[in-house]
Amino acid sequence: MNSKDLFSPLQLGPSTLTNRIVMAPMTRNRAAEGNIPQEMNRLYYEQRASAGLIITEGAQISPQGAGYPFTPGIYNDEQILGWKKITAAVHQKGGHIFIQLWHVGRISHPSLQPDNALPVAPSAIKPDGDAFTYNGPQPFVEPHALEISEINNIVDDYQQATRHALNAGFDGVEIHAANGYLIDQFLRNGSNNRTDEYGGPPENRSRFLLQVLAAVTSVCDSQRVGIRLSPLNSFNSMRDSDPMTLFSYVVQQLKPLKLAYLHVLEGSMSPLPEGDEIFDYKKLAALYDGIYMANHGYDRQSADEAIKSGTADLVSFGIPYIANPDLVERFKADAPLNAPDQASFYGGDETGYTDYPFLSS
């Protein structure tokens, strides 16, 4: 009989997680000037340290990787020092924390880029909608299609960001290859129409991702490296003509790398065109013989069922963790959850960030 449940421990590489409840990465736009993590960020993560694992909000690997105001980086000494205070606080509470490494690619704006440069992407295809800038919403621009030498430089940036993450005390790193950001833009043919070795069949479109993973695992034990994918997520104008074939290939390439986990957003953050809703996530998970982390729309009951049935090893929660720093304790007690205040999700001060009540209060 399977005795695993949400509250069972799990060995994740060198880390022993006390439960299988994961805090998902969530952009909150509350870094200090210079994209430096600050005191209220330290408190925010410390409050949530009872999670089996925290995955931080995306941290840009370079100034070029930024796409939103007040998002933290992991590319200079001041940022490393800010993160060190966060990892120390989480570890002091007995928690574990990975940093999500992020490059937004085309989901940026010249006003957010060094020297007002164009955002970069695999192809010069403009996404729909507006960028969020320090001066409010601005229409997206047509990005600069990366040259191969520029691609290699970004791979080096991922490697250097990983070194910085280890110096900052993180237990591991998560490669953000989801949600329409740079790596996902290479993977899916709705955003990649290249005709060189980075475009065309899945083998080519996966090349950048696999180069990033090779660079990252050359400086960090692969058991401390996770990856996040979102096969169907249409957020940020994303689509692929054959996602099952593409992501089955990607997962098969991940298997021999012996990564810490595969983290999959099972669905879409934006409405999908009719006919695009079909994807076999159980088949994808079965292709992967390592630790599988499920995400998107789970509650206590469905997450527990996923663990008990073996369809997932970990479940990550997003919005519930915004409003419930003690989500583990609330789940254990089967207690009501605080309601999230959507108006304070992005940007601002401690309101709607570190002031949600604990069950004990």
C-beta of residue 325 within 8 angstroms of C-beta of residue 43: no
Angle at 294 (CA atoms; ends 96, 29), nearest 5 degrees? 60
Residues 122-133 as b or e (16 or more Cβ within 10 Å = b): bbebebeeebbb
How many separate domains does the chain show?
A: 1
Q: Is 331 domain-assigned?
A: no
Q: Is 324 domain-assigned?
A: no
pLDDT value at residue 2: 59
Q: Is 89 domain-assigned?
A: yes
Q: Which domain holds residue 105?
A: 10-317
C-beta of residue 36 within 8 angstroms of C-beta of residue 45: no
- Which sign does the torsion angle of CA 41, 44, 48, 49 carry? positive
Number of Cβ atoms within 10 Å of the Cβ of 183 = 26
Q: Which of 44, 45, 158, 181 is catalytic?
A: 181
Q: Is 183 domain-assigned?
A: yes
Q: Is 345 domain-assigned?
A: no
Q: Is 353 domain-assigned?
A: no
Q: Is 292 domain-assigned?
A: yes
CATH number, domain at 234?
3.20.20.70
pLDDT, averaged per 10 consecutive residues of the chain (361 residues), comes to 86 98 98 98 98 98 98 98 98 98 98 98 98 97 98 98 98 98 98 98 98 98 98 96 97 98 95 80 95 97 97 98 98 97 98 96 77
Q: Is 344 domain-assigned?
A: no
**Is 181 annotated as catalytic?**
yes
pLDDT value at residue 281: 96
Q: Please, where are the H alpha helices in the chain?
A: 39-47, 77-92, 148-167, 182-187, 202-205, 207-217, 243-254, 281-287, 300-309, 319-323, 327-333
Question: From CA 269, how far away is CA 34, in angstroms rounded?
Answer: 29
